[in-house]
Structure 1
Amino acid sequence: MAQPAPLALLVLLLLLAGGSEFLAAAASTDTIVPGKGMPGNQTLVSKNGEFELGFFTPGSGIHYFLGVRLRNMGEYSPTFWIGDRVGVINLPGVALEIFGDKLYIKEDGVSLWWSSVAGNGSSSSGAAAAAAVLLDNGDLVVRDQGNPSRVLWRSFDSPGDSLLPGGRLGLDAATGANVSLTFQAYSHNGSLRVDASRRNGFVLTTDGIDSRGVFPDWMVTSQDNGSSLVLNHPNATNSTEFLQFNLGQVSLMRWSDSTAGWVARWTFPSDCKSGGFFCGDFGACNTTTGGCECVGGFTPSYSDEWRLGYFVTGCSRSLPLSCEANGQTEHDDSFAILDKLQGLPYSPQDEAVTTDEDCRAACLNKCYCIAYSTESGCKLWYHNLYNLSSADKPPYSKIYVRLGSKLRSSRGLTTRWIVLLVVGSLAVASAMLALVLLCRYRRELCVSSKFEVEGSLIVYSYAQIRKATGNFSDKLGEGGFGSVFRGTLPGSATAVAVKNLKAVGQAEKQFRTEVQTVGMIRHTNLVRLLGFCVNRNRMLLVYEYMSNGSLDAHIFSEKSSLLSWPVRYQIAIGIARGLAYLHEECEDCIIHCDIKPENILLDGEFCPKIADFGMAKLLGREFNSALTTVRGTMGYLAPEWIYGQPITKKADVYSFGIVLFEIISGRRSTERMKFGSHRYFPTYAAVQVNEGDVLCLLDSRLEGNADVKELDITCRVACWCIQDEENDRPSMGQVVRMLEGVVDMEMPPIPASFQNLVEGEDSGLYSEESWHLRTQD
């Protein structure tokens, strides 16, 4: 009798047969009810069998996201994402569950995302038990089991970047939801919302710039006096359509059997001359022919779609960058000049170097740098180039675009050796893939002899930490809790940040217990703890590395890259979501106690992540002594700190309000300078918000380029957060909903302590001398 195949080999064969998404579709269910969730490797199927809900991966990524897609279309099926695009990696530990009247994404028992309740966002009473089903139109709904017609939440109210027929844009009178499409990629943001002032009108916003258009009558149905538009079902039978919103472009896509691809039935803007993002990543508009072309060294990402006239998918590199080739450190990438181009989509980042060679080297040393120019100082472009077109008088005549690595092709290898190299590489890759899969499903077999695994964290020896950090040679910064060093994990090219905690006298067993608690906390906007080390009186924490550093380096420094308003607004919302998770979703409420720009880190895509959370747990009884430095951080602390009152999560809310003002203004709130008749910026800001003049609070470097409505909302939220009485401040959950525009808010009052400040004197509540007197232990 044949022996059973090893697990790793079976999984490998499954992957080769159907791709990584095979695992996500291994089984299916038809409903989600309390006590019966949907595991990450299953799908929820609609009754008509046309749609399925599951955890899928976009492209070749490693993260899985919750989404709905058309069944039986394979690689051609679009995915309609749900929720806040919370990514997970380990599918066996993920589940979609119902608890009360909400739907939760949980990873290893920790909630990563949850649905809100339809209507005003408050919990609905009377729903004894809820159930989630996928309707035949692709809408995921949570409804009352006792009254199935009563819908508590639906995915059509948060459609992401695409809309299915029957879906709505604009105000839903039944639920109170104001639905819009959104798009975000790297430092670019976009939205598509209803313009009720015109029949079938809409506003397409890209990086803060509005374009107004009109949907044709056959495409949408206007409701509620034009405040909402419903996408019509296609006229043709057995036809599949959906509205796709990409950066700077919205299209009605229809599946074509004759061409075996998606065809844009209607598009706005309709050509590359009137739509700057029409040609996608690294695509350039030929203003003579009106067609799209890829810049040198790039080819169409999806040639079939380009052939059918849909170019927004853009272009991809013909060769990979050297830094993307298995952690290769040798930079042999070349650069090519782009001639006669205009309309680069976002401001380049300034680099403080003086020579052309140093500018080129600066770009090479950043894997996400894709172009540079030295015409007026060193300018770097990151991630992608959009909105390229030919022009007679471009703003930059010499832009050097980074091309892929020629390392392999320049070695002069013979065909025989190339074949051997490919075969050998495939054999090694197959073995590594089998090992990785075996590790994923049989974790107990994966514990390296170099490391000790404790729960979800790795326990490192002190020698390993010293080697990883080069004997602590690359110092990233220092704070109240210790110094932070950059390092590289042994046996990989993964960069990490190692925090060397100041000696706190904590018992090792207690410290390990608290580290495990903090290590279980996972959220998109919280810095991930990877492992730790305990060696006598040394205590070190190993975190994921944030390539763009801390927020203060970007909003206060004149030498740093200027963050646009859309990026700042998304950073503010991300911080709020992270704090809301710590306060309201963790098993034990975690108060950060030190929210300030230095403790907000930014990843490669400028997504904010809160650092140093859970220090109260980690430092235990010694936390009070560690807080002496924190209490000296003038300007971020709530009044209850100063007066010795009990500290609650509302202290974090106050600090967040101050940080909001700094994100808006690009200046320290504690700067001693004149703001009109005031010397303390939050006082000046509170007055201006009440007078309705918020543009004067915006960072002058942005030259007024901001969405005034978003700016007004952010300023009002900041003023509510810094109220003197903690009961007058909103919770962080309420802050998130206010920033997202889900709930309206009244004009905040000017805090009484601000009104009592004597301008120009040093005896006020926030004067430096008074501050130090009040914060003495």
Structure 2
Amino acid sequence: MRSAFLLSLFLLGLDLLFVSVSCGSSTEFVYPNFTASHLQFVDSSKGAFLLSPNSIFKAGLFSPVGDSSPDFYFSVVHIDSGSTIWSSNRDSPVSSSGKMILSPQGISIVEDGKGQKPVWSTPVLASPVHSLRLTDAGNLLLLDRLNASLWESFKFPTDTIVLGQTLPLRMSLSGSVSSYDFSTGDYKFVVTESDGLMQWKGQNYWKFRMHTRANVDSNFPVEYLTVTTTGLAFMGRNGTAVIIRVALPPSTDFRFAKMDYTGKFIINRFFGKELVTEFSGPMDPCQIPFACGKFGLCHLDNAAENKSCSCPDEMRPVADQKTCVPVSQSLSLPVSCEASNVSYLKLGSGVSYFSTHFSDPVEHGIELFACQDLCSKNCSCFGVFYENTSRSCYMVKDSFGSLSLVKNSPDNQDLIGYVKLSTRKQNGKPQDNQNRGSQFPVIALVLLPCTGFLLVIAIGLIWWRKCAVLRYSSIREKQAIRLGSFESGDLGSFHIPGLPQKFEFEELEQATDNFKLQIGSGGFGAVFKGTLPDETLVAVKKITNHGLHGRQEFCTEIAIIGNIRHTNLVKLRGFCARGRQLLLVYEYMNRGSLEKTLFSGSGPVLEWQERFDIALGTARGLAYLHSGCEQKIIHCDVKPENILLHDQFQPKISDFGLSKLLSQEESSLFTTMRGTRGYLAPEWITNTAISEKADVYSYGMVLLELVSGRKNCSFRSQSNSVTEENNQNQNNSSSTTTTNSGLVYFPLYALDMHEQGRYMELADPRLEGRVTSQEVGKLVRIALCCVHEEPALRPTMAAVVGMFEGSIPLGNPRMESLNFLRFYGLRFAESSMVQGQNEESENLGFHRRESSNSGGSRHSASYMASQEVSGPR
């Protein structure tokens, strides 16, 4: 009996050893504290350590060109066809000895021998990882102890989606550089509300609806793209309506859609023993932006699939045949913005450019010389297209791809293209000066010795004066340091790595037209719109408060913003520090602040999707500040005024002057009140340690304002007040939400409506039904979770991003941690009524002194402080 038991234990141990993968065989699951490299599994499973149950897909560290390649990627591969459907570290390949490490925190890809700093890793997860699994569909899953999904590769596609996978609205597929280089290339496919859009370096060049096989079934907004057994479909109305479809032969074979490195969007099916292309677009190969290289001219031959390439007149190909350059040696591609050095090479008639079909002219009704002048003054402009009949000007910016020769097309005879060139100088002299005579005037022989003598004396005087000025400046600098004043030499003691560009004061004075156009203001100064010599628009912040806080903010903003890069954070272009003239130069946000866009009442109403994108982008920016930097950064003043909007309402967080730098392990207690009333977390005035959760609270308040389209502490319009009063009579809602005067504290109202499930009551009425209760409810639930009174109950900003993207389940607001909002609402109503009575008394000529109230609770004190205290700006 004992021997049988021991034998059972032995067999069980062998079974566990076999399944553990450490022996080099692949399996469906692996568990934390697991490490794998390509070399470790190359003999038994060709580098794979995960295998789907149906043995169709494998995962491991692979190279697209074989084991001898220097570049390996952690990828999921279809075994029979060898097609890579997903890869992680596409922009940071590792060697064959590079490792994939699975830990309770997620997946990390590291290069062996270069420390443990990952070249790629999964984002912050909601709970510890219990296992990593590869499904029959080819989806890579990180699971928790209850087998709930924490992260999956299907939600982070690279260039491919497979059968059953979806590509949600505004997500994209990015083509690789080549078939053997998985790095992110220039071609991208994006799902929009009405179509599938293809882009090259940000320029649109093809729409899905342009294909003859694309059938438009309805005009509902697109929600996602999916590959099915019968083709490809753009879906809407929660997946119940087909918007655009491509019908393909019904099949359960392996089928996938891909943004190919060639610039085409293709659908392939593995049929028999080979891949068959079932769909490809664009159909015209000359519609692909880089079909014939830079400035190349694409010709269609008799068959639509065949093309040939050449160069336009007055241009010739270079050795690699991917670029055309001017025939004349005196001309070259533009290298400066000086209009005097710029010339234009006219392209032949019938030559078109792809981006002019998808973009609007920069100007209408102007002459050709004016169109070219706009390009000459813009360093990012490579050429223009001018339409004679409408006198419209199209500008080709940032990159210039291939041209198309369209014969016998009247639409293209009117559109003439011009390539921007510059006059090349030889030996430092313009070419037209090379053939001048070398005659030397006789008088110069007499004047040169005298001139030289005078020149030596002048240089000596200048040098003596310069030395005197330097000695004087040194004395002043030492005095400034001793006195603690903020003079020009003060910044010399600061060592700031990666310091942005330093501007002279005169440069910024000229750029802003002597600080003429003010576009904003704050406690430390005003912001002015400016234009740099290269036509770049900037926002110049002029510091006027030169006290301690002004100095601290100036140095802090340079140190922080100058060294971080994120698409949702405002970029610091440079600075100026001369004497008491302190200025910061930011990139210009052409749509202003969220506060003006949301509350001004002028201009178009922000649509729901735009609000959603602003909320998500802001959350991503804050998540980066909190956990994406080497040092944790707390903003301390998150509010609509500090969220700026760029093109397509892209949000960017600004104003880091109130932020605090913390190490990842440190938690500091700030003794100075910082922030703006209405957005301050309760811990600011309860002597509780301040952490990044204070930003989460402020973000929650901003999110509620995005939902309602108005300030959280505001008067309600008369029509809305009547509607709410009727609703309250019918439903016996809380009396603390509104008052007879029409006052409302919106966070409390949102809490009441959440408890009743009446989310549409909270939506901005200007949206007029263009939003669903489910969409509003999602944002309201996230916001209420963010404004919990206890900081520990608030989610991290990384978790908030996960809730928006759907990778983390929505949180459930804790009512016991939100009851403080009822005290806030009561105090808001009381203080508003007192303020109204005071204003009425002042209008009648009386002055009323408020009596002190010593019996307020901790909640009421917290509310009053957050309403009355505004930290330094």
The TM-score, its normalising length taken from structure 2, stands at 0.48
Contact 1:181–1:191 (CA under 8 A) maintained in structure 2? no
In 2, Cα distance between equivalents of 1:46 and 1:239: 17
- Seen in structure 2, the aligned counterparts of structure 1 residues 606 and 200 have a Cα distance that, compared at 3 Å, is same
> Does structure 1 residue 553 correspond to structure 2 residue 582?
no
CA distance in 2, matches of 1:483, 1:112: 42
* Residues 385-420 of structure 1, C-alpha deviations (whole Å, 9 max, x = no match): xxxxxxxxxxxxxxxxxx9999x99xxxxxxxx9xx
Match of 1:443 in 2: none
Matches within 5 A, 1:509-548: 515-548=558-591
Q: Given that residues 143 and 153 in structure 1 are in contact (C-alpha distance below 8 angstroms), is that contact kept between their aligned partners in structure 2?
A: yes
- In the TM superposition, what whole-angstrom CA distance separates every residue of 1:30-88 from its partner, at most 9, and x where no partner exists? 9799xxxxxxxxx9952469x99999xxxxxxxxxx9999xxxxxxxxx99989999x9
Partner of 2:538: 496
Identity of aligned residues (%): 30
Tell me, in whole angstroms, the C-alpha distance in 1 between the residues paired with 2:142 and 2:867: 57
Q: Hey, what's the Cα distance between the residues in 1 that align with 2:671 and 2:536? A: 31
RMSD: 6.3
- In 1, Cα distance between the equivalents of 2:598 and 2:521? 19
Who is 2:157 aligned against? 159
Shift of 1:116: 2.8
Are residues 510 and 616 of structure 1, via their aligned partners in 2, closer, same or farther at CA, if it must alter by over 3 Å? closer
> Contact conserved, 1:459 with 1:532, CA < 8 A, in 2?
yes
Question: Partners in 2 of 1:116 and 1:243 — Cα distance?
Answer: 33
Shift of the alpha carbon at 1:551?
A: 1.0
Deviations 1:569-611 (A, max 9, x none): 1111000000000011111111111111111111122111000
**Alignment match, 1:467:** 510
Change (3 A) 1:240 1:610: farther
Say whether the 8 Å CA contact 2:750–2:762 is kept in structure 1: yes
What is the alpha-carbon distance in structure 2 between the residues aligned to residue 124 and residue 718 of structure 1? Answer: 27
Name the structure 2 match of 1:740: 805
Cα offsets for 1:308-363 (capped at 9, x unmatched): xxxxx96467998848624469x9988989xxxxxxxxxxxxxxxxxxxxxx9xx9
C-alpha separation in 2, matches of 1:453 and 1:464: 23
Write the letter of the residue equivalent to 2:235: L
In structure 1, the residue matched to 2:830 is 762
* 1:123-172 C-alpha deviation (Å, 9 max, x unpaired): 53699xx9xxxxxx9x998999xxxxxx9977544227x6345673399x
Counterpart selection for 1:204 from 235, 249, 261: 235
Where 1:539 maps in the other structure, the secondary structure is strand
Residue in structure 2 matched with residue 391 of structure 1 by the alignment: none
CA contact (8 A) 2:350 2:413 kept: no
More displaced 10-residue stretch of structure 1: 756-765 or 673-682: 756-765
Larger Rg: 2
Q: Matched residue of 1:520: which SS? A: coil
Structure 1: runs of 5 or more not aligned: 1-29, 34-42, 56-65, 70-78, 131-136, 145-150, 172-179, 224-230, 247-254, 263-296, 304-312, 338-359, 369-402, 410-417, 432-451
Give, in angstroms, the shift of residue 203 of structure 1.
Answer: 5.8
- Following superposition, the deviation at residue 771 of structure 1 comes to 4.2
Amino acid of the structure 2 residue aligned with 1:581: Y
1:159–1:655 CA distance, 2 compared to 1 (3 A): same
Cα pair distance change 1:509/1:610, threshold 3 Å:
closer
| Cα deviation, residue 533, structure 1 | 1.7
Alignment partner of 1:737: what SS? helix
* 1:738 CA drift (Å): 0.6
Aligned ranges 1:127-526 → 2 under 5 Å: 155-159=153-157, 163-165=160-162, 168-169=165-166, 182-183=191-192, 190-192=222-224, 204-205=235-236, 211=242, 218=249, 221=252, 233-235=269-271, 238-239=274-275, 241=277, 259-260=304-305, 315=358, 322=371, 325-327=375-377, 425=422, 427=424, 455=498, 457-489=500-532, 491-501=533-543, 502-505=545-548, 515-526=558-569
Q: Would the alpha carbon gap of residues 776 and 649 (structure 1) be closer, same or farther in structure 2, given more than 3 Å must change?
A: closer
1:675-690 correspondence to structure 2 within 5 Å: 676=725, 677-678=737-738, 679-690=744-755
Q: What is the rounded CA distance, in whole Å, between the counterparts of 1:298 and 1:576 in structure 2?
A: 48
* 1:46 aligned onto 2:64: yes
Determine whether 1:648 maps to 2:715.
no
TM-score in terms of structure 1 length: 0.53
Report the structure, 1 or 2, having the larger helix content. Answer: 2
- Can you list the C-alpha shifts for 1:457-501, whole angstroms capped at 9, x where unaligned? 111222222222222212110123432111122x31111111123
How far, CA to CA, are the matches of 2:798 and 2:598 in structure 1?
25
Report how far residue 302 of structure 1 moved: 5.7
Residues 548 and 324 of structure 1: is their aligned pair in 2 closer, same or farther, counting only changes over 3 Å? farther
Distance 1:98 1:606, change over 3 A: farther
2:540 corresponds to which letter in structure 1? V
How far the C-alpha of 1:712 sits from its partner, in A, is 1.9
What SS does the corresponding residue of 2:223 show, helix, strand or coil? strand
In structure 1, C-alpha distance between the alignment counterparts of 2:621 and 2:637, rounded to whole Å:
14
Name the counterpart of 2:776.
Answer: 711
- Aligned residue identity for 1:646: A
* SS state at 2:269 partner: coil
Q: Say if 2:820 is the partner of 1:753.
A: yes
Alignment check: 8 A CA contact 1:219 1:232 kept = no
Decide which of 677, 682, 701 is 1:658's aligned counterpart: 701
Determine if the alignment matches structure 1 residue 695 to structure 2 residue 701. Answer: no
Given that 2:127 and 2:150 are in contact with CA atoms closer than 8 Å, whether structure 1 keeps it comes out as no
Taking the aligned partners of 1:759 and 1:513, their CA distance within structure 2 comes to 36
Residues of 1 paired with 2:39 and 2:587: CA distance? 34
